[in-house]
Amino acid sequence: MPLLTQKGEWSAGVHGNFSQNAALQGAYAVGEHIGVMGSASFLHSNKKESFFGNKAERESVDHDFVEAGVGYFTRLRKDQRVLEVYGGLGAGNTKRTRFNNETNITDQSAEGKLKKYFVQVNYTSKDEESFHLLGRDWEFNYGTALRASYMQLNDLKLDGVVQAPRTTCSSNQLLTPA
């Protein structure tokens, strides 16, 4: 959620975890009520075993995705609330490979190109509320973000073989043995 309130304001974030996942996010108010936002996410993981140590579940995941949007923001109710509406698109690549636990040879792979369209509405309080806990006052603010997305998976290849376009599928269906 960009949370923009005036021209020249910006927000940015960098996120990561121990599963080799990284994400960059940013937004900038280019006008009094016009903002731009963008994000990029990267996941390159080659798990030797599952989280609980099961070597039968070894897989490799490569995922790169970027998205950008433009939208409108305004303050409501005496500058205490912010309403934002954004629309945008994204693109990326994804590949998932499962390995045979005994031979370490590729058991199954799925890859494709992703295309995404989205509309996002944010409603946020800029007022900081507080609550008292553990002998200290803790300040916070709150918000709600609703996002509707349409995503397409194009150029789908299963085990290197090009597949006919599908109208609906999930990642679990793609990698479930027949």
Given this model, what pLDDT does residue 66 score? Answer: 97
Q: Domain for residue 1, yes or no? A: no
Beta bridge mates, 99 = 106
pTM of the predicted model as reported, rounded to 2 decimal places: 0.75
Contacts of 144 (CB under 8 A, 6+ apart): 122, 123, 124
pLDDT tens per residue across span 69-93: 999 999 887 777 899 999 999 999 9
Hey, what are 124's tokens? 């946020």
Q: Domain for residue 2, yes or no? A: no
Given this model, what pLDDT does residue 50 score? Answer: 57
Number of domains into which the chain is organized: 1
Given this model, what pLDDT does residue 162 score? Answer: 87
Given this model, what pLDDT does residue 166 score? Answer: 60
Parts of the chain with a pLDDT under 70: 47-57, 101-104, 126-128, 165-178
Given this model, what pLDDT does residue 48 score? Answer: 65
CB count, 10 Å around CB of 165? Answer: 10
Q: Domain for residue 166, yes or no? A: yes
Is residue 168 helix, strand or coil? coil
CA-to-CA dists, residue 144 to 12, 37, 85, angstroms: 18, 17, 12
Q: Domain for residue 168, yes or no? A: yes
Given this model, what pLDDT does residue 2 score? Answer: 78
Strand-pair category, 129-133 with 34-47: unpaired
C-alpha–C-alpha distance, residues 85 and 153, integer Å: 26
Given this model, what pLDDT does residue 55 score? Answer: 61
Range of the domain at 20: 12-174
Q: Domain for residue 6, yes or no? A: no
